[in-house]
Structure 1
């Protein structure tokens, strides 16, 4: 990938390998990607599973919660557009650049999707704060859904 068409993105939920939305990351029709390995956030953030769809949500409250484990990818602009569509960016999720630590200890800056606004109803359905998501966490399996672009769609 050319440098101008290259972005790093850190994923912590359903886009990871072996998780329910892995096909969006791996589908060549939605753009190019290169798996760079496992990584974790340098900063702590709250991450939990919530809603009737059992979605993993990472909040913007930097410094609270745990260091989040996930995967880092190099993606092109087309793949970033596909990820933005999945995440409902910019209305539902925001994305910010944060430092993440790769397995080899290298710190890189990567985009991370985070829930823009926390609806109190969401907190009523959440699990405990977790550092690593996998489908079925706490007996809660991800439920595929379409057009979940605002908080009211979650309940």
Structure 2
């Protein structure tokens, strides 16, 4: 379990969206944006966490939810599960489908649709678009 000053999170495993979405890297800071355009793009790979209510509220605020990003339930295919604190009945099998909250946006520049679509995001990934913190831009 990871404790933050804003709440608690427990890493559970890795998953992939059942639906395809465009994940683009845009703006001067090379920010990843998951565009809420189901059926377009790629199946997105990401980490699955269990978070408490305090952290969920913090994340909503951090993501500008609901104005900038929207938190919506999405079907996720389990790639691997590491939730060791789960009872055997609570551990989803690989390739099974669960529902998780995902932050995506309907607020984007039209030209972002012309950017490359990524299947996952890593600030140091081979895309060469390293994330730049706001204070490093100014």
Higher strand fraction: Structure 1 or Structure 2? 2
TMscore range, shorter length: 0.7 to 0.9
SS at match of 2:55: helix
Distance 2:56 2:134 in 1: 20
Task: Spell out, residue by residue over 1:22-66, the C-alpha distance to the aligned partner (whole angstroms, 9 max, x if none).
Answer: xxxx55211111111111101100111000111111111101111
**Shift in Å at residue 117 of structure 1?**
1.2
1:117 matched to 2:107: yes
Confirm or deny: 8 A CA contact 2:24 2:112 kept in the other structure: no
Confirm or deny: 8 A CA contact 1:31 1:76 kept in the other structure: yes
User: Quick one: which of 119, 131, 135 aligns to 1:142?
Assistant: 131
What TM-score, normalized by structure 1, do the two folds share?
A: 0.70
In structure 2, do the counterparts of structure 1 residues 111 and 75 end up closer, same or farther at CA, with 3 Å as the change threshold?
same
Higher helix fraction: Structure 1 or Structure 2? 1
Root-mean-square deviation (Å): 1.9
How many pairs align?
119
Distance 2:66 2:121 in 1: 23
What TM-score, normalized by structure 2, do the two folds share?
A: 0.78
1:67 matched to 2:43: yes
SS at match of 2:134: coil
Moved >6 Å (runs of 4+): none
Equivalent residue number for residue 108 of structure 1: 98
Q: Which runs of 5+ in 1 are unaligned?
A: 1-25, 147-155
